Chains A and B, each alone.
Chain A
Amino acid sequence: MEQIANHIIFFLLSAVIVVCSIMAVTSRRILRAATYLLFVLFATAGFYFQLDYHFLGAVQITIYAGGIVVLFVFAILLTSKLGEKSDRISSTKRAWGLAAALLGALICGYTLCTHDFFPQFAADGEVDMKTLGHALMGMDKYQYLLPFEAVSILLLACIIGGIMIARKR
């Protein structure tokens, strides 16, 4: 029963992701595109929950859906009028884009489908927060203090850079 529910949820989320991501890139209204993106991100978070990575799912929702999409919306509101439709895409450009996307999807799909993975279904489910914390703050093998610090410096740089760029001269 749980299996079936899981499947149903998965297909729902998949449908949302597929439809919304296509809508996000084809919609001529930019604000709508951002909204579709938001749906995609939520659905992705759903995937993470489904895979028992709850922390990641939470991060996804707070940072992506909560932070980035908000930034997008502000930016969109700052740079375009409401209800403004973007220009039609020229057919050659669309053809190139379609070609690239479809060909890519084809090749990737083919590779994925023909490749033999040896999935081991995870038994333990939920990752414990303590393990995560240790991995993030440790300096041993499979522990990530250095990348963590690097990311924090990057974020600092971003803050400064953002201020510098946005500052009025």
Chain B
Amino acid sequence: MEIPMIYYVVVSTVMFFAGVYGFVTRKNLLAILISLELMLNAVDINFVVFNRYLFPQQLEGFFFTLFAVAIAAAETAIAIAIIINIYRNIRNIKVDDLDKMKY
């Protein structure tokens, strides 16, 4: 177990900001959602890593990740339901076209 903690953290950072990039640039709602999952996942890694390396006696990070996964699942399900509903309505899931509630 001599892999330095910083390695994990750097990887998760790259993953997170890849997610940010995707979130900002993609037009497809599903792609945005994918980016979102990336970010969530990066955060999960951080929790786990910090738990393991910094407070190995406790399980806060572990459980946080566990619940985050559950919530992510729920959130994705709802998001996809909404996206499909939007698709039904406007035959399109481009985020730019969703301007009915603007202003």
**Chain A positions near chain B (C-beta within 8 angstroms):** 3, 6-7, 10, 14, 17-18, 21-22, 24-26, 30, 33-34, 37, 40-41, 44, 47-48, 50-53, 56, 59-60, 63-64, 67-68, 71-72, 74-76, 78-80, 86-87, 89, 93-94, 96-98, 100-102, 104-105, 108-109, 112-113, 117-124, 127, 131-132, 135-136, 142, 144, 147-148, 151, 154-155, 157-158, 161-162, 165-166
Contacts and interface: CB of A to CB of B under 8 A. Distances in A.
B20 A100 contact: yes
B13 A112 contact: yes
Interface string B10-52: 1101111111111011111011011101100100110011001
Given A47-B45, A100-B24, A63 B73 contact: yes
A147 B38 contact: no
B37 A86 contact: no
Contacts of A86: 26-28, 31
B21 A122 contact: no
Interface residues of B, number: 68
Contacts of B85: 165-166
A68 B76 contact: yes
B81 A161 contact: yes
Contacts of A67: 73
Contact of B72 (A64, A78, A166): A64
A155 B70 contact: yes
B98 interface: no
B80 A135 contact: no
A147 B9 CA distance: 26
A34 B34 contact: yes
B25 A97 contact: yes
Interface in B44-73: 44-45, 48-49, 52-54, 56, 58-60, 62-63, 65-67, 69-73
B24 A96 contact: yes
A87 B27 contact: yes
Nearest 8 A/B pairs, CB to CB: A25-B22, A122-B56, A97-B24, A97-B25, A101-B21, A158-B74, A21-B18, A165-B81
B24 to A, nearest CB: 4
Given A14-B7, A68-B37, A147-B63, A25 B25 contact: yes
